[in-house]
Structure 1
Amino acid sequence: MDDVERDLWLSLRLPEPRARTRLFCLPFAGGGSQMYRRWRGRLPEAIEICPIQLPGREGRVRERPIEDLDELVASIAGAISGVLDLPFVLFGHSMGAMLGFEVARRLRDQELPTPRALIVSGRRAPHVPNPDPPIGDLPDDGFLEEIRQLNGIPDGVLQSAELVELILPALRADYRMCETREHQAGAQLDCPIFAYGGLSDAKVDRPSLDAWREHTTGPFVIRMFQGDHFFLNDPRSMFRQALYTDLDTMLGDRR
């Protein structure tokens, strides 16, 4: 992957010269990476926020969304492989957690630097079946109603025909990718896995989060926060404080 293509995936990267670690952030289904950009200034300067920008949304809205998991994971791994000069952590919420897990496995299999930790948020472990029927091919009204119940996209967006037209292709592509994915068993990771969940998340319960422990030979930590599937946006959850504490603990004092 050349620098021009890499810049498409890392266009929202915010270089921080005092950084001791780089936090690669992967979005939820249909989501972009602006939410992670807003973390700058809310996390310490020692952490460089590096959102991954997927095709089909935000600054890449004119590009075709990628529905093939292997293709998407290969592209993400290729993009970040050129900026692994610092210790790094992979963070993903919902679909992003699945992507982070697969990227970590791909980096390991290619004998590239691997993450100091994987933080998976709002996602059941890869081997745990999804009990819900697929929604990716529902008619628009039914599909959008399912999305509305997750409370991740503002009603103002879902009520705007123009905005829905912009986000719908990527949203459907992401759901189809997640719903058709079949977990491929492989060697466990050896990095710590931190699993975060919402106490009121109707889709991802504690047992399905706790099952992530089966995917690492390293330490495993589970944390439950106030809020629903998008607890990371809930000011009651103390999510960012916990995230920084965990990052500081897993990376040690490198100042």
Structure 2
Amino acid sequence: MRLLCFPHAGAGPSQFRSWLAAGPDSLQIMPVALPGREARYKDAMPRRMDALLRDLSHGIEPLLDQPFAMLGHSMGALVAFELARMMRCAGLRQPEHLFVSAFRAPHLNGRSPPLHALPGHLLKAELLRLDGTPPEVLAQPDLMDTLLPVLRSDLEIAEHYRYRHAPPLSCPITCLGGITDQRISRPELRAWRQHTADAFRLRLFPGGHFYLYKTPVLVQHAICTDLGLSTLCPDDAVA
């Protein structure tokens, strides 16, 4: 089954490279490229959710010819959720399952101060605190000159987002989280339950906010279990 993967704010498809190496045969990892980064670095970066969704819907529509699931991490969870709702309104094929990671349920108000307008040195300090960006990257001005505008654009989307009530999705939702994540509470994760008319499950893994990229095999095993897929990897096959 195809798994469309949406990374956290400021990140691109390469964030899932460890997932591509670890994936079982039954799961086709398909990182989604957001505008303004990596192969799409020349594309304008949207600053509102509606504009981002319009952009992404054109890119993924050709991938909807067979069953698929969606996974979003941090801000990517919000993007995946809203994209699933937009696809429903457009009469497009719906995901078999939605996996949302390390992000509070969308109807909850944000409790953190806005970050997108912070001065560069304070935004770097926040990245260091979250432990999602290697210190050696933070120490290189050229890399940060590329990263920070993308990050600010994504943060602006998330921080200006306003939830609009709609019926719950018809697909199951699994909420994933890091046990030691200080940004998101267990009740905020469990609150995703109200956004599905089907089954809901909360799964917690060792690690903090970026646990997802550090334990790909463990998380993929859980995803395959929830999708009813084999967890057999190529190296596990018997000749």
TM-score w.r.t. length of structure 1: 0.86
**Percent sequence identity over aligned pairs:** 38
Which residue, out of 181, 204, 209, partners 2:189? 209
3-state SS of paired residue (1:38): helix
Deviation at residue 236 of structure 1 after TM alignment: 9.7
Selected match of 2:77 from 89, 97, 122: 97
For 1:198 and 1:24, the matched residues in 2 are separated by 21
Q: Do the aligned partners of 1:226 and 1:234 also contact (CA within 8 Å) in 2?
A: no
Choose between structure 1 and 2 for higher RCO, CA contacts under 8 A separated by at least 6 residues.
2
Of stretches 51-60 and 210-219 in structure 1, the one that deviates more from structure 2 is 51-60
> 1:210-251: CA deviations, max 9, x gaps?
00001011100000111100011334993232222223359x
- Cα distance in 2, alignment partners of residues 43 and 242 from structure 1: 12
Does the CA contact (< 8 Å) of 1:105 and 1:189 recur in 2? yes
The answer to whether the aligner puts 1:221 opposite 2:201 as a matched pair is yes
Gaps of 5+ in 1: 1-20, 251-255
Match of 1:181 among 161, 170, 175: 161
Q: 2 CA distance for matches of 1:97 and 1:121?
A: 6
- C-alpha deviation, 1:125, in angstroms: 0.2
DSSP 3-state at the match of 2:105: coil
In structure 2, the gaps of 5 or more residues are 231-239
| 2:113 maps to 1:147 | no
In angstroms, what is the RMSD of aligned CA positions? 1.7
Structure 2 Cα separation of the partners of residues 184 and 148 of structure 1: 33
Return the alpha-carbon distance in structure 2 between the equivalents of residues 172 and 226 of structure 1.
28
What's 2:38 paired with?
Answer: 58
Task: Look up the match of 1:156.
Answer: 136
Task: Measure, in 2, the Cα distance between the counterparts of 1:220 and 1:107.
Answer: 20
2:128 paired with 1:111: no
Offset of residue 37 of structure 1: 3.7
Contact 1:30 1:171 in 2 (8 A): yes
Given the alignment, which residue of 45, 52, 69 partners 1:72? 52
Matched position secondary structure for 1:40: helix
- Deviation by residue 1:115-164 (Cα, 9 ceiling, x = unmatched): 00100001100011111111110111111111221111111111100000
Name the stretch that deviates more: 42-51 or 151-160: 42-51
Deviations 1:27-85 (A, max 9, x none): 10000111224322412222222111111111222332211210111221221112211
For the structure 1 residues 236 and 63, does the alpha-carbon distance in structure 2 shift closer, same or farther, using more than 3 Å as the test?
closer
Give the paired residue count: 230
TM-score w.r.t. the length of structure 2 is 0.91
Aligned to 1:40: 20
State the alpha-carbon separation in 1 of the partners of residues 213 and 2 from structure 2: 21
Is 1:242 the counterpart of 2:222? The answer is yes
